Structure 1
Amino acid sequence: MSFTELGLSDEIVRAVAEQGYSAPTPIQSQAIPAVLLGGDLLAGAQTGTGKTAGFTLPILQRLKGGKPAARGTVRALILTPTRELAAQVEESVRTYGKYLKLRSAVIFGGVGINPQIDLLRKGVDILVATPGRLLDHIQQGTVSLANIEILVLDEADRMLDMGFIRDIRRILALLPQQRQNLLFSATFSDEIKELADGLLNSPAMIEVARRNSTAEMIAQKIHPVDRNRKHQLLSHLVKTNNWSQVLVFTRTKHGANKLVEQLGKEGISALAIHGNKSQSARTRALSEFKDGSLQVLVATDIAARGIDIDQLPHVVNYDLPNVPEDYVHRIGRTGRAGASGEAVSLVCVDEHDMLKGIEKLIKRSLPREVIAGFEPDPNARPQPIQLRSGDGGGRNRPRQQKPAATTARPASAPSGNKPTQSKRTGSKLLGGDGASAGRNRGSR
């Protein structure tokens, strides 16, 4: 099947082809026709499936023949949980809408609000926003949502995990009742089902992977180790296996900073990304990691949502996540688009209950492999896991977080997440300067 057969115009297909994509992924082949029909959609897709293009392409198609947005209004609104994801989704809109006369914009916090106000005044056909910054604009009267035709909640599960449900409900109350609603989520928790029931009207349902499943192309293993020897084991694995590009997850921001310092002493280049890092620091770390000049990127769960890398070979859970679903999100960064990947978890005695929760969720037992020289003490007793203020993950995460983002791009079809900085007339990427002006609540 081709993109033309899905009902997309020649202008959109041309832009897609210029990015080197010829065949749609399963989520795209199902979602695009469903969105073009104009009805609501509930879609379940893991990272790496090309879901972003699954909604950006048909939205472009639906809006291309309509009346342009009036001053201060928006026609399509895409809500995302984090800054980096918002920027990447808007880049998708610009990339695949380059031959259309549609205006797009992205707004998020952590940067000055005035340039965003100037752009919104002109009217925006497709607005990508984080909830907090959008509410800032609404409160200041710089944007109207009265003309919204299409609403997208992208990574809805992550938005709920990050405590944005109240913001989302405030935004929903301002939208016209007659509109198309699209909800995309990697997992379907009870909260997602409740949100979908209240938001969607007789939706089409698409699920391209088994719920809460982990990719079959990912080789997963557990390395038992004592808690105080994890950094030594990680250094050993990186050096002996000649790993050149490794994404490492820690539970806390403090833990991420400490691990970077420890790896540096071992001669391993590493940087951390988390909510306390400035936008410019996170952007620089991601750029160096993507181009291969940085060997190890250490991230907390929220910050990792901004990582979009082709064929990332290795993901390491230095700390297991507090919420089992986050394990699925984490290892989904590798093994994409038919490529093989490896997900390694360093598990100490404190984390045995967490491991049980993960294995229950994914319905499989993960193989254990003890590394010679790093055998765990059989008499070690578990200690309570302490979270520092502002750290953590999932549903136990404090509500006032400063996140960062991610989606994925398969090799055979577009995900719409090429992090380039090209610009076109009528479309502008805001917020990439790393400034820290303005209030930062959540992903603002």
Structure 2
Amino acid sequence: PVASLAPKIDQSVYMVGREQKQALLHHLIGEHNITRTLVFTRTKHGADKVTKKLNHAGIKADSIHGNKSQNQRQRALDGFRAGKSHVLVATDVAARGLDIDDITHVFNYDLPHEPEAYVHRIGRTGRAGATGEAIAFCDRSERSLLRQIERLTGSKINATTDLPDLPKPEPKPKSDSKPESNNGEAHASYADRATAKPRSAKHRSGAGDRYNPNKSRNQNSRKPAGRGRSHPRSR
């Protein structure tokens, strides 16, 4: 069956690489001066990551998900309703029963695995006769999810591949320090172990470095071939 959508919700989808999603989100929020929006991610870790980067960029944001206590979620909702934060990042589970007025935009940062969840997400804008905008980000791995959503809703979502000029994603920071064990000694990383030169069989056995008293005794007790002990001939 075809799911019904509010008639005043304008849907669009950006075909974008995963590493560009965060920069595109910042750009669209700033360009449209969005101050009341929901952003949906697929995971709790993703919600925290998006929220942290939004705040780092000067965009006031908070998040709600299953790893947060009821008090933490309530404070985030109260702050969003009061305008202390302009963006609320949420997972589908945490957003169940969420009732907030005047949501102007809904971003699908990650497309949901269940197409019905998309309908529930964007239904939080365009309420009470107001207009709303639902914007989805779709990377290469999510294209099948997009097709499922379009089959469910019975309409093709306006797609664009013409992206604005976005800053390049920041490289992942490299850790200079190695993790310490309980006794304060640093563990060798997997890369260090993988690139270390293998010891020779001689060193692995220890035969070339260690003194072996049994070997010495065995060598001294050996007799030369022939009868008795040979003596040097006098000249």
Please report the TM-score for the alignment, with normalisation by the length of structure 2.
Answer: 0.68
How far has the Cα of 1:238 moved from its partner? 0.6
Write the distance in 1 (CA, Å) between the matches of 2:110 and 2:25. 11
Identity among equivalent positions (%) equals 50
The aligned residue for residue 163 of structure 2 is 371
The aligned residue for residue 52 of structure 2 is 261
The aligned residue for residue 305 of structure 1 is 96
One-letter amino acid of the structure 1 residue matched with residue 139 of structure 2: C
Q: Which consecutive unaligned segments of at least 5 residues does structure 1 have? A: 1-187, 189-210, 375-444
Q: Which consecutive unaligned segments of at least 5 residues does structure 2 have? A: 167-235
Larger radius of gyration: 2
The aligned residue for residue 273 of structure 1 is 64
Write the distance in 2 (CA, Å) between the matches of 1:324 and 1:297. 21
The aligned residue for residue 346 of structure 1 is 137
Please report the TM-score for the alignment, with normalisation by the length of structure 1.
Answer: 0.36
How far has the Cα of 1:307 moved from its partner? 2.1
One-letter amino acid of the structure 2 residue matched with residue 259 of structure 1: V
Correspondence list, 1:103-252, <5 A: 212-252=3-43
How far has the Cα of 1:311 moved from its partner? 2.4
One-letter amino acid of the structure 1 residue matched with residue 46 of structure 2: G
How far has the Cα of 1:310 moved from its partner? 1.7
Cα displacement string for residues 286-316 of structure 1 (whole angstroms, at most 9, x for unaligned residues): 1111122211100000111242122211100
Contact kept? 2:64, 2:94, Cα under 8 Å: yes
Correspondence list, 1:354-365, <5 A: 354-365=145-156
One-letter amino acid of the structure 2 residue matched with residue 246 of structure 1: T
Write the distance in 1 (CA, Å) between the matches of 2:102 and 2:30. 20
One-letter amino acid of the structure 2 residue matched with residue 336 of structure 1: R
One-letter amino acid of the structure 2 residue matched with residue 220 of structure 1: Q
The aligned residue for residue 85 of structure 2 is 294
How far has the Cα of 1:228 moved from its partner? 0.5
Contact kept? 2:3, 2:154, Cα under 8 Å: no
Correspondence list, 1:13-28, <5 A: none
The aligned residue for residue 316 of structure 1 is 107
Contact kept? 1:270, 1:298, Cα under 8 Å: yes
One-letter amino acid of the structure 2 residue matched with residue 264 of structure 1: N
Write the distance in 2 (CA, Å) between the matches of 1:315 and 1:233. 14
One-letter amino acid of the structure 2 residue matched with residue 371 of structure 1: L
Cα-Cα RMSD: 1.2
Counterpart of 1:305 in 2: which secondary structure? coil
How far has the Cα of 1:279 moved from its partner? 0.4
Counterpart of 2:63 in 1: which secondary structure? strand
Correspondence list, 1:55-70, <5 A: none
Contact kept? 1:286, 1:307, Cα under 8 Å: no
The aligned residue for residue 284 of structure 1 is 75
